[in-house]
Amino acid sequence: MTANPSLSELANRVTEARDRPVYGHDALITCDRLVRVFTADGVEVQALQGLDLLVREGELMALVGASGSGKSTLMNILAGLDTPTAGAARVAGRDLLTMTARDRLAYRREVVGFVWQQTSRNLLPYLTAAQNVALPLQLAGTRKGRRARAERALELLELLHVADCRDRHPRELSGGQQQRVAIAVALAGGPSVLLADEPTGELDSQTAAQIFEAFRTANETLGTTIVIVTHDQAAAGEVRRTVAIRDGRTSTEVLRRSEIDATTGHETVVAREYAMLDRAGRLQLPADYLDALDMRERVALELEADHIGVWPDDTR
């Protein structure tokens, strides 16, 4: 790039910028500088402070973050239960800011499914497991006939290994069984996206691993895109991509991929942490890195051929 570009260079840049695909054009979920401000007792809380997030179709990913970092706020917006103060949010081509009340209702029925932490919020206590799964099918009206709905409900319960629970009421099921039935309920309407907010919060670690297995099965068999909020670091390790939220913004992400040793044939999962670079070029450096080098207020940058060096301020 030259310091004093000519007129034709400037014109070229404008053309390039115009032809560049818009942010998130190929993503199923796009959050673009998402802001949510709450006002409680005259005090403003900025729960989301310009959050950027892209989730591709068919992904199974986790969101992690400290208490109060904005995870539930984001999930409620993606679920169509809350609206952002500013920014843009699109899911499966629907604009979550401009939807009418009617579109919002259709969105919640057809595009997203949810699994919440409290099992009581997921299942109706007076219906059996099979009836709970058949209900969204009945409401959506896509499967005509009680028998077709009952068959689909049973298929989903079988997929999640809880077919034996079909005639039991939620109170007769263990916490893990309840959550697997809840996943079947959330999948019943054939949503593009399944959102789960702390689905393993009330379960022991072994049962939590089974629930993650159920999410993986749903993702691989039905191709549903799944976003899971979790506090559980071990559970977060069960997915290929974990995005961390800090102070209402996405800060880092861990990507895991399998590597197969050419000689032994053993498969190992290699995890690498990346910092998120927002659209303005802003980077959040991990707090422990900053502490280790006592970096505050400003840093020196150096552009090298294949990396950028970040150095402590040498003028202090």
Ligand X SMILES: Nc1ncnc2c1ncn2[C@@H]1O[C@H](COP(=O)(O)OP(=O)(O)OP(=O)(O)O)[C@@H](O)[C@H]1O
Sole binder of ligand X in the list 5, 11, 38, 221 (CB under 6 A): 38
Q: Could you say whether residue 199 binds ligand X (CB under 6 A)?
A: no
Q: Could you say whether residue 246 binds ligand X (CB under 6 A)?
A: no
Q: Could you say whether residue 73 binds ligand X (CB under 6 A)?
A: yes
Task: Give phi and psi for 127, each to the nearest 5.
Answer: -110, 150
Which of the stretches 70-78, 85-93, 210-218, 262-270 binds ligand X when contact is defined by CB under 6 A? Answer: 70-78
Task: Give phi and psi for 254, each to the nearest 5.
Answer: -110, 125
Q: Of the candidates 128, 101, 89, 132, which has an alpha carbon nearest to the alpha carbon of residue 227?
A: 89
Which of the stretches 71-79, 129-137, 148-156, 269-277 binds ligand X when contact is defined by CB under 6 A? Answer: 71-79
Which of the stretches 68-76, 136-144, 252-260, 261-269 binds ligand X when contact is defined by CB under 6 A? Answer: 68-76
- Using the minimum distance from each CB to ligand X, give the nearer residue, 46 or 142: 46
Q: Centre a 10 Å sphere on the Cβ of residue 2 and count the other Cβ atoms it contains.
A: 6
Sole binder of ligand X in the list 30, 61, 71, 153 (CB under 6 A): 71
If you count them, how many residues does the chain have?
Answer: 316
Q: Could you say whether residue 6 binds ligand X (CB under 6 A)?
A: no
Task: Report how many residues bind ligand X under the rule CB under 6 A.
Answer: 12
- Using the minimum distance from each CB to ligand X, give the nearer residue, 71 or 249: 71
Q: Could you say whether residue 309 binds ligand X (CB under 6 A)?
A: no
Measure the CA dihedral 225/228/232/233, to 10°: 50
Q: Could you say whether residue 136 binds ligand X (CB under 6 A)?
A: no
- Using the minimum distance from each CB to ligand X, give the nearer residue, 73 or 242: 73
Sole binder of ligand X in the list 24, 65, 80, 87 (CB under 6 A): 65
Sole binder of ligand X in the list 70, 80, 189, 199 (CB under 6 A): 70
Q: Of the candidates 44, 35, 45, which has an alpha carbon nearest to the alpha carbon of residue 89?
A: 35
Q: Could you say whether residue 69 binds ligand X (CB under 6 A)?
A: yes
Sole binder of ligand X in the list 5, 68, 125, 309 (CB under 6 A): 68
Residue 187: both structure tokens together: 């999948």
Strand partners, 312: 299
Please classify residue 16 by burial: count the beta carbons closer than 10 Å to its beta carbon, then call 0-12 exposed, 13-18 middle and 19+ buried. Answer: exposed
Sole binder of ligand X in the list 67, 98, 206, 263 (CB under 6 A): 67
Q: Centre a 10 Å sphere on the Cβ of residue 156 and count the other Cβ atoms it contains.
A: 24
- Using the minimum distance from each CB to ligand X, give the nearer residue, 68 or 309: 68
Helix (H, G, I), strand (E, B) or coil at 142: coil
Residue 85: both structure tokens together: 């103060």
- Using the minimum distance from each CB to ligand X, give the nearer residue, 45 or 269: 45
Query: What's the min distance (Å) between Cβ of 123 and ligand X?
Result: 21
Residue 200: both structure tokens together: 């393993």
Q: Of the candidates 173, 145, 142, 141, which has an alpha carbon nearest to the alpha carbon of residue 160?
A: 173
Whole-angstrom CA distances from 289 to 118, 292, 296 are 37, 5, 11
Contacts with ligand X by CB under 6 A lie at: 38, 40, 45, 47, 65, 67-73
